[in-house]
Chain A
Amino acid sequence: MRKRRHRPDEAEINIAPMLDIIFILLIFFIVTTSFVKEFAVDMSRPSNAPPKTEKLSEVIFVKIDASGQIFVKDRLTDVRAVRANIESGLAANPESPVVVAAARQADAGLLVRVVDQARVAGAQRVSLVALVE
């Protein structure tokens, strides 16, 4: 290339404007990139399938009432004992789904903790319903 340079009509492409644009793009993307550091408990339904009708006897029913009391299978329980209660329910039938029904006024934090404890206990399917009063 360089050897041919002596011909006066041959022009070199000026890459300076391109470089400017690339730098501006680079800076734009560096500045706008935000890496989300969010830790979260999965609440999505395990599959896209429509909700099945479960046999009521198989369901581990966890109720959270408006005052924040937790009932596992209609027995009043502390939040720390939820895991043990669900584990004993799952021991009888490992496939049984856990249904968490929360009153509308109950604290969301409690709901998250109950779902978390159900997951820790090994429940495969945890579903949420709103408690109709």
Chain B
Amino acid sequence: MRKRRSKENEDTEINITPMLDIVFIMLIFFIVTTSFVKETGISPKKPVAQTAESKPRANILIGVDLDGRIWINNRQMQVNQVRQLIEDAVNETPESSVVLIADQESPTGVLIDVMDQVRLGGIIEIAVSAEPESQ
């Protein structure tokens, strides 16, 4: 390339420095914003609530289905397994927060048991998923 440059003046080389800058900035953006979300694997019918607010920082989603089964990370869990999992998650990312995705008709007892286990595991930020009421 360089050799040709000296011969023909109009043959120009593409300057990749600005592209590299952009790519680096995108890379850093995605590294910073990525949080590996533990999805539940179920999509229950959520209750409607007026005070529902967006939870963009939630990274642990716990699903409770119609029959009171607990789903984390596409796997069914027992109540006594939740605490260990939460403790592991806290070790990984200390500022985790939990969103419980409970079906409208799931039993309350399971929900309260799970919330207790999450608290024992060391996460105080707990919210229960709901549809925001359309104004």
Whole-angstrom CA separation of A120 from B123 in the bound complex? 25
B59 contacts the other chain (CB 8 A): yes
**Residue pair B102, A108 in contact (C-beta under 8 Å):** yes
**Residue pair B51, A116 in contact (C-beta under 8 Å):** yes
Give the total of A residues in contact with B, Cβ under 8 Å. 44
Which chain A residue has the least Cβ–Cβ distance from B101?
A38
A70 contacts the other chain (CB 8 A): no
Secondary structure of the B contact surface, majority rule: mixed
User: In the complex where A40-B55, A111-B108, A112-B47 touch, is A34 in contact with B128 (Cβ < 8 A)?
Assistant: no
Secondary structure of the A contact surface, majority rule: mixed
User: Which B residues fall within an 8 A CB radius of A?
Assistant: 2, 16, 20, 23-24, 26-27, 30-31, 33-37, 45-59, 61, 64, 99-112, 115, 119, 124-132
A-B contacts, 9 of them at CB < 8 A, read A22-B24, A33-B34, A39-B132, A41-B51, A42-B51, A105-B107, A108-B111, A113-B48, A130-B112
User: Which A residues fall within an 8 A CB radius of B?
Assistant: 5, 19, 22-23, 25-26, 29-30, 32-45, 48, 64, 102-113, 115-117, 119-120, 128-130
